[in-house]
Amino acid sequence: MHHGYYGPDGKRKVEHRQAQLDMIEAMLEWGQAPTRLQRFLDAGCGVGGSSRYLALKHPEARGLGLTLSPVQARNGQRYNQEAGVGDRVEIRAQDVFSLDPAAEGTFDLVWSMESAEHMADKEALMELFLAMLRPGGQLIMATWCHRPVPPALTEDDQRVLGKIGELYHLPPLVSVPDLKAAALKAGFTNVATDDWSAAVEPFWGAVISSGLDPRNWPGLIRAGASTIKGAWAMKYMKEGFRSGAIRYGVLHATKPAI
């Protein structure tokens, strides 16, 4: 349930599902993920695709995935069993903001893949992630942003961003520099950001084509009205990437060792 990665300039010809796996690998590499991973938090995990990927890549690692959706948590737990990682990866329906570092313990890696855009208060989120990491632990985040300001967002930028926010139920987005400022303010070091919009842009063409394929219509209809509304929002994502109003922001940051 996240964008595909099509090489740094978006020119790599790769099948859309593979591109989603490539995104995880590209983020781990760029994000300076720990080479020995013992415990990770997948904050806003969907059905836990990244968690299973991490658990399979690191056979000694244990993971906790959180989603707001009990349906995603239930399905994710089942997929974990099917993938043979059910004893190492737990997926819970729980708000990340209810996490208690004292009760939960800390993690080597906080993985935040296309979920932070759902969380309005980025400063509080960065503080929470810092608290959830062990000293020296790493935060890796990919999230939808608006373009840097100034110059101020135009009316047209605001129209596209407003439509995306409305159709995907998002609070107002922030810019990549805003994300970086929030991480620094929370006390992270080694904070780096980048704009991967070019690398992900082909994704929406691939998704729209799959939506137009009549073989996928029964599934879309079964998924219900809100999914169809979400599918409609794709045209605004395409428009937003084309105009530059929307940006695919990535960030990595380290919790100071002491």
Binding site for ligand SAM (CB under 6 A): 1-2, 44-46, 49-50, 66-69, 72, 95-97, 113-115, 118-119
Q: Which is nearer to ligand SAM, 97 or 217 (CB)?
A: 97
Nearer to ligand SAM, 80 or 115 (CB): 115
Residue 239 Cβ vs ligand SAM, minimum distance, rounded to whole Å: 19
- Tell me how far, at minimum, the Cβ of 196 lies from ligand SAM, in Å: 14
- 169-205: b or e for each residue (b if 16 or more CB lie within 10 Å)? ebeebbbbebbbbbbeebebeebebbbbbebbbbbbe
Q: How far is the CB of 220 from ligand SAM (least distance, A)?
A: 17
Minimal distance in Å, beta carbon 94 to ligand SAM?
A: 7
CA nearest 92: which of 51, 129, 146?
A: 51
Indicate the residue among 4 and 137 with the shorter CB distance to ligand SAM: 4
Which of 99/181 has CB closer to ligand SAM?
A: 99
**Least distance (Å) from ligand SAM to the CB of residue 151?**
29
Exposure of 229 in the CB half-sphere (CA atoms within 13 A): 10
Alpha-carbon distance 58 to 56, whole Å?
5
Chain centre distance of CA 131: 19
Question: Which is nearer to ligand SAM, 110 or 253 (by Cβ)?
Answer: 110
Extract the tokens encoding 78: 């089942």
Here the tokens at position 203 are 């994704």
Angle between helix 176-186 and helix 122-132 axes, rounded to 10 deg: 50
